[in-house]
Amino acid sequence: MSASASASASPRIAAGTPAFRRTNRALFFGGFSTFALLYCVQPLMPVLSHQFALTPAQSSLVLSISTAALAFSLLLSSALSERLGRKPMMVTAMALAAALTVLCALARNYPQLLALRAMLGLVLGGMPAVAMAYLGEEIEPASLGLSMGLYISGSAFGGMSGRLLTSLLSDYFSWRVALAVMGVAGLMAAWDFWRSLPASRHFAPARGGWRAMRDGCRLHLTDAGLPLLFALAFLLMGSFVSMYNYIAYRLLAAPYGLSQTSVGLISLLYLLGIYSSVWAGRLADRLGRRGVLWRVLTLMLAGLLLTLSQALPLIVAGVALFSFGFFATHSVASSWVGRRAAAPRALASALYLFFYYFGSSVVGSATGMVWARGGWPGVVAVLGAALCVALLIALRLRQLTPLAPAAPALAPG
Protein backbone atom coordinates (compact mmCIF):
# COMPACT_ATOMS: atom_id res chain seq x y z
CA MET A 1 0.00 0.00 0.00
CA SER A 2 1.38 3.45 -0.89
CA ALA A 3 2.05 6.10 1.75
CA SER A 4 -0.78 8.26 0.46
CA ALA A 5 -3.22 5.36 0.42
CA SER A 6 -2.21 4.33 3.92
CA ALA A 7 -2.63 7.92 5.14
CA SER A 8 -6.09 8.26 3.65
CA ALA A 9 -7.13 4.99 5.35
CA SER A 10 -6.06 6.19 8.80
CA PRO A 11 -8.73 7.90 10.90
CA ARG A 12 -8.19 11.53 11.69
CA ILE A 13 -7.67 12.69 15.25
CA ALA A 14 -10.96 13.46 16.99
CA ALA A 15 -11.70 15.59 20.04
CA GLY A 16 -11.66 13.65 23.32
CA THR A 17 -9.04 11.08 22.27
CA PRO A 18 -5.55 10.72 23.83
CA ALA A 19 -3.99 11.65 20.48
CA PHE A 20 -6.06 14.86 20.41
CA ARG A 21 -4.83 15.80 23.88
CA ARG A 22 -1.19 15.08 22.97
CA THR A 23 -1.48 17.05 19.74
CA ASN A 24 -3.00 20.05 21.42
CA ARG A 25 -0.48 19.95 24.27
CA ALA A 26 2.36 20.01 21.76
CA LEU A 27 0.84 22.69 19.55
CA PHE A 28 0.01 24.78 22.62
CA PHE A 29 3.72 24.74 23.49
CA GLY A 30 4.54 25.43 19.84
CA GLY A 31 2.32 28.49 19.76
CA PHE A 32 3.67 29.54 23.16
CA SER A 33 7.28 29.39 21.99
CA THR A 34 6.64 31.10 18.66
CA PHE A 35 4.92 34.13 20.11
CA ALA A 36 7.05 34.32 23.28
CA LEU A 37 10.33 34.39 21.34
CA LEU A 38 9.03 36.62 18.58
CA TYR A 39 7.32 39.25 20.74
CA CYS A 40 9.36 39.20 23.95
CA VAL A 41 11.25 42.27 22.68
CA GLN A 42 8.10 44.38 22.29
CA PRO A 43 7.97 45.74 25.87
CA LEU A 44 11.72 46.33 25.69
CA MET A 45 11.37 48.92 22.93
CA PRO A 46 11.38 51.92 25.32
CA VAL A 47 14.39 50.40 27.16
CA LEU A 48 16.28 49.95 23.87
CA SER A 49 15.29 53.47 22.82
CA HIS A 50 17.00 54.80 25.95
CA GLN A 51 20.10 52.58 25.84
CA PHE A 52 20.87 52.98 22.12
CA ALA A 53 19.44 56.54 21.65
CA LEU A 54 16.71 55.43 19.22
CA THR A 55 13.40 56.93 18.13
CA PRO A 56 10.26 54.80 18.70
CA ALA A 57 10.16 53.97 14.98
CA GLN A 58 13.82 52.87 15.03
CA SER A 59 13.30 50.83 18.18
CA SER A 60 10.32 49.07 16.59
CA LEU A 61 12.73 47.51 14.08
CA VAL A 62 13.81 44.99 16.74
CA LEU A 63 10.39 43.43 16.24
CA SER A 64 9.60 44.43 12.67
CA ILE A 65 12.81 42.96 11.24
CA SER A 66 11.93 39.60 12.79
CA THR A 67 8.35 39.57 11.52
CA ALA A 68 9.47 40.68 8.04
CA ALA A 69 12.07 37.90 7.87
CA LEU A 70 9.49 35.45 9.21
CA ALA A 71 6.96 36.50 6.58
CA PHE A 72 9.32 35.74 3.71
CA SER A 73 10.72 32.54 5.23
CA LEU A 74 7.23 31.09 5.67
CA LEU A 75 6.90 30.36 1.95
CA LEU A 76 10.26 28.57 1.78
CA SER A 77 9.56 26.68 5.00
CA SER A 78 6.17 25.50 3.80
CA ALA A 79 7.73 24.23 0.57
CA LEU A 80 10.46 22.39 2.52
CA SER A 81 7.88 20.86 4.85
CA GLU A 82 6.08 19.39 1.84
CA ARG A 83 9.27 17.40 1.18
CA LEU A 84 10.77 16.87 4.63
CA GLY A 85 7.68 16.49 6.82
CA ARG A 86 5.83 18.65 9.33
CA LYS A 87 7.23 17.60 12.70
CA PRO A 88 10.97 17.79 11.82
CA MET A 89 10.52 21.33 10.46
CA MET A 90 8.67 22.53 13.54
CA VAL A 91 11.08 21.02 16.07
CA THR A 92 14.11 22.47 14.25
CA ALA A 93 12.52 25.91 14.00
CA MET A 94 11.69 26.04 17.72
CA ALA A 95 15.15 24.89 18.84
CA LEU A 96 17.08 27.29 16.60
CA ALA A 97 14.87 30.26 17.50
CA ALA A 98 15.44 29.60 21.19
CA ALA A 99 19.20 29.37 20.71
CA LEU A 100 19.24 32.67 18.77
CA THR A 101 17.30 34.37 21.57
CA VAL A 102 20.06 33.39 23.99
CA LEU A 103 22.59 34.89 21.56
CA CYS A 104 20.54 38.11 21.41
CA ALA A 105 21.28 38.58 25.10
CA LEU A 106 24.98 38.76 24.18
CA ALA A 107 24.63 41.31 21.36
CA ARG A 108 27.23 44.09 21.69
CA ASN A 109 25.31 46.78 19.77
CA TYR A 110 21.97 47.47 18.15
CA PRO A 111 22.91 46.45 14.56
CA GLN A 112 24.14 43.11 15.90
CA LEU A 113 20.90 42.65 17.83
CA LEU A 114 18.92 43.40 14.67
CA ALA A 115 20.95 40.85 12.68
CA LEU A 116 20.27 38.14 15.26
CA ARG A 117 16.58 39.03 15.37
CA ALA A 118 16.42 38.80 11.57
CA MET A 119 17.96 35.31 11.74
CA LEU A 120 15.42 34.39 14.41
CA GLY A 121 12.59 35.39 12.08
CA LEU A 122 14.07 33.31 9.26
CA VAL A 123 14.35 30.09 11.27
CA LEU A 124 11.02 30.58 13.03
CA GLY A 125 9.27 30.38 9.65
CA GLY A 126 9.33 26.60 10.03
CA MET A 127 6.70 26.70 12.77
CA PRO A 128 3.48 28.72 12.20
CA ALA A 129 2.37 27.73 8.68
CA VAL A 130 3.51 24.14 9.15
CA ALA A 131 1.55 23.91 12.40
CA MET A 132 -1.63 25.07 10.66
CA ALA A 133 -1.05 22.56 7.86
CA TYR A 134 -0.42 19.75 10.37
CA LEU A 135 -3.71 20.47 12.12
CA GLY A 136 -5.58 20.67 8.80
CA GLU A 137 -4.22 17.25 7.81
CA GLU A 138 -4.42 15.36 11.10
CA ILE A 139 -7.51 16.71 12.90
CA GLU A 140 -11.00 15.73 11.81
CA PRO A 141 -12.91 18.69 10.27
CA ALA A 142 -15.53 18.80 13.04
CA SER A 143 -12.80 19.34 15.66
CA LEU A 144 -10.51 21.62 13.65
CA GLY A 145 -11.93 24.89 14.95
CA LEU A 146 -11.39 23.81 18.56
CA SER A 147 -7.89 22.54 17.84
CA MET A 148 -6.89 25.69 15.97
CA GLY A 149 -8.32 27.75 18.81
CA LEU A 150 -6.20 25.84 21.33
CA TYR A 151 -3.10 26.42 19.21
CA ILE A 152 -3.83 30.13 19.03
CA SER A 153 -4.50 30.21 22.77
CA GLY A 154 -0.97 28.87 23.21
CA SER A 155 0.20 31.74 21.01
CA ALA A 156 -1.71 34.17 23.21
CA PHE A 157 -0.21 32.66 26.36
CA GLY A 158 3.27 32.85 24.84
CA GLY A 159 2.80 36.45 23.78
CA MET A 160 1.58 37.36 27.24
CA SER A 161 4.30 35.44 29.09
CA GLY A 162 7.08 36.73 26.86
CA ARG A 163 6.05 40.35 27.29
CA LEU A 164 5.38 40.05 31.01
CA LEU A 165 8.59 38.19 31.88
CA THR A 166 10.84 40.49 29.87
CA SER A 167 9.18 43.54 31.46
CA LEU A 168 9.72 42.21 34.97
CA LEU A 169 13.26 40.95 34.37
CA SER A 170 14.36 44.11 32.58
CA ASP A 171 13.04 46.21 35.47
CA TYR A 172 14.86 44.21 38.16
CA PHE A 173 17.91 42.99 36.19
CA SER A 174 18.47 43.96 32.54
CA TRP A 175 17.10 43.37 29.08
CA ARG A 176 19.98 40.93 28.48
CA VAL A 177 18.96 38.73 31.41
CA ALA A 178 15.37 38.89 30.17
CA LEU A 179 16.28 37.58 26.71
CA ALA A 180 18.55 34.86 28.10
CA VAL A 181 15.73 33.53 30.29
CA MET A 182 13.32 33.55 27.35
CA GLY A 183 15.79 31.59 25.23
CA VAL A 184 16.17 28.88 27.87
CA ALA A 185 12.37 28.66 28.22
CA GLY A 186 12.14 28.26 24.43
CA LEU A 187 14.57 25.33 24.49
CA MET A 188 12.45 23.61 27.14
CA ALA A 189 9.30 24.17 25.05
CA ALA A 190 11.01 22.67 21.98
CA TRP A 191 11.90 19.53 23.94
CA ASP A 192 8.32 19.07 25.21
CA PHE A 193 6.97 19.66 21.70
CA TRP A 194 9.25 16.95 20.24
CA ARG A 195 8.22 14.54 23.00
CA SER A 196 4.46 15.12 22.80
CA LEU A 197 3.50 15.65 19.14
CA PRO A 198 2.26 12.50 17.34
CA ALA A 199 3.96 11.72 14.04
CA SER A 200 2.02 12.68 10.90
CA ARG A 201 -0.30 9.99 9.55
CA HIS A 202 -1.87 11.95 6.71
CA PHE A 203 1.23 13.64 5.31
CA ALA A 204 2.55 12.51 1.93
CA PRO A 205 5.76 14.10 0.56
CA ALA A 206 5.04 16.43 -2.35
CA ARG A 207 6.89 16.40 -5.64
CA GLY A 208 7.49 19.07 -8.21
CA GLY A 209 9.71 21.56 -6.34
CA TRP A 210 9.43 25.26 -7.17
CA ARG A 211 7.05 24.65 -10.07
CA ALA A 212 4.61 23.02 -7.67
CA MET A 213 5.00 25.98 -5.31
CA ARG A 214 4.30 28.43 -8.14
CA ASP A 215 1.25 26.46 -9.25
CA GLY A 216 0.06 26.23 -5.65
CA CYS A 217 0.36 30.00 -5.20
CA ARG A 218 -1.65 30.55 -8.36
CA LEU A 219 -4.32 28.12 -7.15
CA HIS A 220 -4.70 29.78 -3.75
CA LEU A 221 -4.52 33.36 -5.02
CA THR A 222 -7.25 32.76 -7.61
CA ASP A 223 -9.61 31.21 -5.07
CA ALA A 224 -12.71 33.30 -4.37
CA GLY A 225 -12.14 33.46 -0.62
CA LEU A 226 -8.49 32.88 0.29
CA PRO A 227 -7.11 36.23 -0.97
CA LEU A 228 -9.71 38.00 1.18
CA LEU A 229 -8.55 36.03 4.21
CA PHE A 230 -4.93 36.91 3.37
CA ALA A 231 -5.79 40.63 3.21
CA LEU A 232 -7.65 40.30 6.49
CA ALA A 233 -4.57 38.78 8.11
CA PHE A 234 -2.42 41.76 6.98
CA LEU A 235 -4.81 44.28 8.51
CA LEU A 236 -5.51 42.36 11.72
CA MET A 237 -1.93 41.68 12.75
CA GLY A 238 -0.73 45.11 11.67
CA SER A 239 -3.35 46.68 13.92
CA PHE A 240 -2.70 44.36 16.85
CA VAL A 241 1.07 44.83 16.88
CA SER A 242 0.70 48.60 16.53
CA MET A 243 -1.58 48.70 19.56
CA TYR A 244 0.94 46.94 21.81
CA ASN A 245 3.97 48.69 20.25
CA TYR A 246 2.86 52.20 21.15
CA ILE A 247 0.48 51.85 24.10
CA ALA A 248 3.64 51.32 26.18
CA TYR A 249 5.08 54.68 25.12
CA ARG A 250 1.76 56.34 25.97
CA LEU A 251 1.52 54.82 29.44
CA LEU A 252 5.17 55.37 30.34
CA ALA A 253 4.83 59.10 29.59
CA ALA A 254 2.89 61.79 31.48
CA PRO A 255 0.23 61.99 32.80
CA TYR A 256 0.35 58.24 33.58
CA GLY A 257 4.08 57.73 34.24
CA LEU A 258 3.78 53.99 34.78
CA SER A 259 6.82 51.81 35.41
CA GLN A 260 8.12 49.24 32.93
CA THR A 261 6.72 46.46 35.12
CA SER A 262 3.28 48.10 35.32
CA VAL A 263 3.15 48.51 31.55
CA GLY A 264 4.23 44.89 31.19
CA LEU A 265 1.21 43.85 33.24
CA ILE A 266 -0.93 45.01 30.30
CA SER A 267 0.21 41.77 28.69
CA LEU A 268 -2.01 39.89 31.16
CA LEU A 269 -4.83 40.89 28.84
CA TYR A 270 -3.54 38.14 26.55
CA LEU A 271 -5.31 35.76 28.92
CA LEU A 272 -8.51 36.98 27.29
CA GLY A 273 -7.11 35.77 23.99
CA ILE A 274 -6.56 32.30 25.42
CA TYR A 275 -10.26 32.15 26.17
CA SER A 276 -11.59 34.01 23.14
CA SER A 277 -9.67 31.98 20.54
CA VAL A 278 -11.08 28.69 21.88
CA TRP A 279 -14.54 30.20 22.37
CA ALA A 280 -14.61 31.58 18.82
CA GLY A 281 -13.30 28.28 17.41
CA ARG A 282 -16.13 26.33 19.07
CA LEU A 283 -18.67 28.93 17.99
CA ALA A 284 -17.45 28.81 14.39
CA ASP A 285 -17.63 25.00 14.38
CA ARG A 286 -21.25 25.25 15.54
CA LEU A 287 -22.60 28.34 13.75
CA GLY A 288 -20.28 28.75 10.77
CA ARG A 289 -17.39 31.12 10.18
CA ARG A 290 -19.21 33.54 7.91
CA GLY A 291 -21.66 34.45 10.66
CA VAL A 292 -19.07 34.77 13.45
CA LEU A 293 -16.15 36.57 11.78
CA TRP A 294 -17.65 40.01 11.26
CA ARG A 295 -19.16 40.06 14.74
CA VAL A 296 -15.90 39.42 16.58
CA LEU A 297 -14.19 42.00 14.35
CA THR A 298 -16.54 44.68 15.64
CA LEU A 299 -15.24 43.96 19.16
CA MET A 300 -11.74 44.95 18.05
CA LEU A 301 -12.99 48.21 16.61
CA ALA A 302 -15.02 49.02 19.73
CA GLY A 303 -11.99 48.35 21.95
CA LEU A 304 -9.79 50.57 19.81
CA LEU A 305 -12.18 53.50 20.08
CA LEU A 306 -12.39 53.04 23.84
CA THR A 307 -8.63 53.68 24.17
CA LEU A 308 -9.21 57.30 23.13
CA SER A 309 -10.37 57.93 26.70
CA GLN A 310 -8.00 59.74 29.05
CA ALA A 311 -9.07 57.58 32.01
CA LEU A 312 -6.59 54.75 32.64
CA PRO A 313 -9.26 52.14 33.56
CA LEU A 314 -11.08 52.80 30.28
CA ILE A 315 -7.84 52.59 28.30
CA VAL A 316 -7.10 49.19 29.86
CA ALA A 317 -10.69 48.06 29.18
CA GLY A 318 -10.29 49.15 25.56
CA VAL A 319 -7.05 47.18 25.12
CA ALA A 320 -8.77 44.18 26.74
CA LEU A 321 -11.72 44.29 24.34
CA PHE A 322 -9.39 44.86 21.39
CA SER A 323 -7.27 41.81 22.38
CA PHE A 324 -10.34 39.62 22.94
CA GLY A 325 -11.65 40.52 19.49
CA PHE A 326 -8.28 40.03 17.79
CA PHE A 327 -7.68 36.48 19.00
CA ALA A 328 -11.27 35.50 18.27
CA THR A 329 -11.03 36.92 14.75
CA HIS A 330 -7.66 35.29 14.06
CA SER A 331 -8.95 31.93 15.31
CA VAL A 332 -11.93 32.03 12.94
CA ALA A 333 -9.97 33.33 9.93
CA SER A 334 -7.04 30.90 10.27
CA SER A 335 -9.28 27.85 10.69
CA TRP A 336 -11.24 29.04 7.64
CA VAL A 337 -8.01 28.89 5.61
CA GLY A 338 -7.37 25.36 6.86
CA ARG A 339 -10.86 24.20 5.87
CA ARG A 340 -11.09 26.03 2.55
CA ALA A 341 -7.64 25.43 1.08
CA ALA A 342 -6.93 22.59 -1.31
CA ALA A 343 -3.48 21.01 -1.48
CA PRO A 344 -0.81 22.19 -0.94
CA ARG A 345 -2.30 23.20 2.41
CA ALA A 346 1.00 24.24 4.01
CA LEU A 347 1.43 26.79 1.24
CA ALA A 348 -2.05 28.22 1.86
CA SER A 349 -1.23 28.53 5.56
CA ALA A 350 2.12 30.11 4.65
CA LEU A 351 0.45 32.69 2.41
CA TYR A 352 -2.00 33.59 5.17
CA LEU A 353 0.84 33.98 7.66
CA PHE A 354 3.04 35.79 5.14
CA PHE A 355 0.46 38.57 4.97
CA TYR A 356 -0.12 38.26 8.72
CA TYR A 357 3.50 38.92 9.66
CA PHE A 358 4.16 41.28 6.76
CA GLY A 359 1.29 43.39 8.10
CA SER A 360 2.97 43.30 11.49
CA SER A 361 6.18 44.70 9.99
CA VAL A 362 4.71 47.29 7.64
CA VAL A 363 1.88 48.65 9.75
CA GLY A 364 3.79 48.21 13.03
CA SER A 365 6.71 50.38 11.87
CA ALA A 366 4.68 52.89 9.86
CA THR A 367 2.47 53.58 12.84
CA GLY A 368 5.58 54.67 14.73
CA MET A 369 5.86 57.67 12.42
CA VAL A 370 2.18 58.42 12.99
CA TRP A 371 2.75 58.24 16.75
CA ALA A 372 5.63 60.72 16.50
CA ARG A 373 3.47 63.25 14.63
CA GLY A 374 -0.10 62.66 15.76
CA GLY A 375 0.19 60.93 19.12
CA TRP A 376 -2.36 58.36 20.21
CA PRO A 377 -5.32 59.93 18.32
CA GLY A 378 -3.29 59.55 15.11
CA VAL A 379 -2.58 55.90 15.88
CA VAL A 380 -6.27 55.24 16.54
CA ALA A 381 -7.25 56.97 13.28
CA VAL A 382 -4.92 54.78 11.23
CA LEU A 383 -5.86 51.54 12.99
CA GLY A 384 -9.56 52.44 12.85
CA ALA A 385 -9.34 52.86 9.08
CA ALA A 386 -7.58 49.49 8.78
CA LEU A 387 -10.23 47.74 10.86
CA CYS A 388 -13.05 49.32 8.86
CA VAL A 389 -11.52 47.84 5.70
CA ALA A 390 -11.20 44.49 7.52
CA LEU A 391 -14.88 44.66 8.45
CA LEU A 392 -15.82 45.22 4.81
CA ILE A 393 -13.75 42.16 3.89
CA ALA A 394 -15.52 40.08 6.54
CA LEU A 395 -18.92 41.15 5.18
CA ARG A 396 -17.78 40.21 1.68
CA LEU A 397 -16.72 36.78 2.96
CA ARG A 398 -20.28 36.25 4.21
CA GLN A 399 -21.43 36.26 0.59
CA LEU A 400 -19.07 33.47 -0.55
CA THR A 401 -20.59 30.37 -2.03
CA PRO A 402 -19.69 27.44 0.27
CA LEU A 403 -17.29 24.86 -1.11
CA ALA A 404 -18.73 21.67 -2.51
CA PRO A 405 -18.75 18.98 0.21
CA ALA A 406 -17.13 16.49 -2.17
CA ALA A 407 -13.62 17.74 -1.44
CA PRO A 408 -11.83 15.13 0.70
CA ALA A 409 -10.67 16.14 4.18
CA LEU A 410 -12.26 19.57 3.92
CA ALA A 411 -15.58 20.67 5.29
CA PRO A 412 -17.55 23.46 3.59
CA GLY A 413 -15.68 26.70 4.18
> Does residue 409 sit within a domain?
no
> Exposed, middle or buried, 53 (CB in 10 Å: 0-12/13-18/19+)?
exposed
With contact defined as beta carbons under 8 Å apart, do 356 and 67 qualify? Answer: no
What one-character DSSP code corresponds to residue 380? H
Residue ranges making up the domain that contains 182: 17-197+216-398
Cβ neighbors of 404 (< 8 A, separation 6 or more) are 412
Residue 89 sits at the vertex; the CA angle it makes with 87 and 93, to the nearest 5 degrees, is 120
> Does residue 206 sit within a domain?
no
> Does residue 343 sit within a domain?
yes
- Which backbone phi and psi does 13 adopt, to 5 degrees? -75, 125
pLDDT of residue 392: 94
Q: What is the CATH number of the domain that holds 187?
A: 1.20.1250.20
What Rg, from alpha-carbon coordinates, does the chain have? 20
Whole-number Å distance between alpha carbons of 358 and 234: 7
pLDDT of residue 139: 82
pLDDT of residue 176: 95
> Does residue 315 sit within a domain?
yes
> Does residue 267 sit within a domain?
yes
Whole-number Å distance between alpha carbons of 282 and 284: 5
- Could you tell me how far CA 283 lies from the centroid of its own chain? 20
> Does residue 127 sit within a domain?
yes
Q: What is the pLDDT along the chain (413 residues), one digit of tens a residue?
A: 444 444 445 777 776 788 888 888 888 888 888 888 998 998 898 889 888 988 888 888 999 899 889 888 877 777 777 677 788 889 999 999 999 999 999 999 999 999 999 999 999 888 877 887 788 778 887 777 777 777 777 777 787 888 888 988 988 899 999 999 999 999 998 998 988 888 777 766 666 556 767 777 888 888 878 899 999 999 999 999 899 888 988 998 889 988 878 887 887 887 787 788 778 877 777 777 777 888 889 999 999 999 999 999 999 999 999 999 998 898 888 878 867 777 666 678 778 888 988 898 888 888 988 988 899 999 999 999 999 999 999 999 888 776 654 333 323 23
Residue from 151, 336, 130, 325 nearest 227 by CA = 336
With contact defined as beta carbons under 8 Å apart, do 230 and 330 qualify? Answer: no
Whole-number Å distance between alpha carbons of 358 and 364: 9
**Residue 66 to residues 39, 96, 197, Cα–Cα distance (Å):** 9, 14, 26
> Does residue 412 sit within a domain?
no
pLDDT of residue 7: 47
Number of domains in the chain: 1
Whole-number Å distance between alpha carbons of 198 and 226: 29
Cβ neighbors of 280 (< 8 A, separation 6 or more) are 149, 292, 296, 327, 328, 329, 331, 332
> Does residue 7 sit within a domain?
no
Whole-number Å distance between alpha carbons of 213 and 207: 10
With contact defined as beta carbons under 8 Å apart, do 89 and 34 qualify? Answer: no
pTM: 0.73
Classify the phi-psi angles of 41: left when phi > 0, otherwise alpha if psi is within -120 to 50, otherwise beta.
alpha
Give the up-direction half-sphere exposure of residue 154: CA atoms within 13 A in the CB hemisphere: 22
